[in-house]
Amino acid sequence: MPILWRHAQLATLTDDAPWGWLADGALLTIGERLVWLGRDADLPGDAEVDAEYDLEGALVTPGLVDCHTHLVYGGARADEFEARLQGVSYAEIARRGGGVLSTVRATREAADETLFAAARRRALALLAEGVTTIEIKSGYGLNFADEARCLRIIRRLGRELPLTVVATFLGAHALPPEFAGRPDDYVAEVCAWLPALAAEGLADAVDAFCETIAFSNDQARRVFDAARALGLPVKLHAEQLSDQGGAALAAGYGALSCDHLEYLNDAGARAMAAAGTIAVLLPGAFYVLRESRPPPIAALRAASVPLAVATDHNPGSSPLLSLLLAMNLACTLFRLTPEEALRGATINAARALGLADRGVLAVGKRADFVVWPLNHPRELAYWMGGCHPSRVIVGGREVCADGRVANEADLQP
Ligand code: NIG
Ligand code: FE
């Protein structure tokens, strides 16, 4: 059924024109798609529509895309937050068996319903800020049964929530205690689980954590080989705490994205550019860990590597549940422009997930868009909290903050 949205200031993000700006624009949707978009004055006079909404000059952007999260986990790690405030480092906490492994213990102990309910609440918090597509990684199970269980919960979130959920298998996130001292044996296990996970349709992509406190370059390579054998795209937590050459390795596998990148070197940036790999910046983790070395934004720009911004929501290094705040941090801490931050949380984030059907407002794309009570899109990266959409449209349907799809009675004309 055709629905017409009139009198909007559109930040289409479609081209190099600043913001892809279209003043006094209109959008026509049929089902899940945008079928017409242009100046309100150019609306075809004969268009028959089932509903028409006057947005009265409000700002409209594409739906936001959070392309890097770890939303499914048990427990919390506020105790580690306190320890870090006392001067204990993230790496030291990990070496003492805390960090990722403490969340692994809590996740393994948690019932499915507990994990699902907590992740659902977190996803709805993102949705309430205009996020219409979320990537969620496994990586807190670290055995076959619990990794598969978390991936099934991720799939259930995608079925039951009115947003797109992309599932990424991150078995190579940390070395589980059962394999202490035997990382190569664990990596062999991770590779051996992949065919069954893929056969059940549980993974859209495969990720690994390449770092001194996690897995080596060679171990990441073995995981990527297993993914490639199954036709699954790869991505990498790369160069977060040290330069491991992980980005160049991942780019060699045509990785969708390399994420974090504080210690990325020039060769890595060039390899990413050649492979079309997206740089996913995670300023929440940078801020929480009080890192001092920002990713090499100038080198990434010079190499024309597209920049994305994500929350990296996780209970350790980034307990951040606001993509808008991640955009603000990307500007303040990494010196992105507000427009780069918005493109980073829409079109470039979609590219980091291999999704070509969203992230911009254009004919043929998904009708995922957000109406904001703001005058200009630069405000999205400017306000620190309290910036809420007036309406969120996912696949042509308006959704409420509680995750219900609005029915006709909820919609104001
Ligand atoms: O993306 N870097 C590795 N993994 C997560 C942190 C996970 C955790 O501390 O629980 C990240 O920052
Ligand atoms: Fe992460």
- Closest atom of ligand 1 to CA, residue 90: 9
Instruction: Report CA(44)–ligand 1 centroid distance (Å).
Output: 50
Nearest Cα to 171, choosing from 202, 199, 201?
Answer: 202
Does ligand 1 come within 6 angstroms of the Cβ of 312? yes
CA angle 312, 127, 279 (to 5 degrees): 35
Mean pLDDT of 72-98: 93
Is the CB–ligand 1 distance for residue 98 below 6 Å? no
Rounded distance from Cα 290 to ligand 1 centre (Å): 14
Q: How far is CA 340 from CA 162, 293, 300, 321, 358, in A?
A: 27, 20, 12, 20, 17
Over residues 126-137, the mean pLDDT reads: 98
Averaged pLDDT for residues 320-334: 98
Ligand 1, atom 1: closest residue by C-alpha: 312
CA–centroid distance, 240 to ligand 2, in Å, is 10
For range 292-299, the mean pLDDT: 97
Specify whether the CB–CB gap between 64 and 132 falls below 8 A.
yes
- pLDDT, tens digit, for every residue of 180-230? 999 999 999 999 999 999 999 999 999 999 999 899 999 999 999 999 999
Which of the listed residues 66, 68, 70 should we mutate to test ligand 1's pocket, taking the one with most ligand atoms within 8 A of CB?
70
Sheet holding 369-372, edge to edge: 33-39, 21-30, 2-11, 51-62, 369-372, 391-394, 397-399
Residue 235 CB–ligand 1 contact under 6 Å: no
Q: Give the pLDDT score at 186.
A: 98
The residue contributing the CA closest to ligand 1 atom 6 is 317
pLDDT in tens, 49-70: 999 999 999 999 999 999 999 9
pLDDT tens per residue, range 238-268: 999 999 999 999 999 999 999 999 999 999 9
* Best CA proximity match to 403, nearest among 74, 125, 100: 125
Q: How far is the CA of 48 from the centre of ligand 2 (A)?
A: 46
- Statement: residue 90 has pLDDT above 90: no
Candidate of 209, 212, 329 to mutate for ligand 1, largest count of ligand atoms within 8 Å of Cβ: 209
What pLDDT was estimated at residue 405? 80
Position 288, amino acid: V
Q: Which atom of ligand 1 is nearest to the CA of 237?
A: 2
Place of tokens 């306190």: 82
Asked if residue 153 has pLDDT above 80, the reply is: yes
Measured CA to CA, the distance from residue 248 to residue 258 in angstroms comes to: 9
Does 344 score more than 50 pLDDT? Answer: yes
Supply the pLDDT for residue 16.
Answer: 75
Long-range contacts of 111-116 (CB under 8 A, 24+ apart): 112/149, 112/153, 114/74, 115/72, 115/73, 115/74, 115/149, 115/150, 115/153, 116/153, 116/156, 116/157
Decide: 318 in ligand 1 pocket, CB within 6 A.
yes
**407 pLDDT tier (thresholds 50, 70, 90):** low
Tell me if the pTM is above 0.85.
yes
DSSP class of residue 307?
E
| CA 277 to each of CA 7, 235, 349: distance values in angstroms, whole numbers, following the listed order | 37, 9, 11
Which atom of ligand 1 is nearest the CA belonging to 315?
A: 10
CB distance 134 to ligand 1 below 6 Å: no
Check pocket membership of 339 for ligand 1, CB cut-off 6 A. Answer: no
Decide if pLDDT at 413 tops 50.
no
- Answer whether residue 409 shows pLDDT above 70: no
- What number of CA atoms fall less than 13 Å from residue 295's CA on the CB side? 34
* Position 404 pLDDT exceeds 90: no
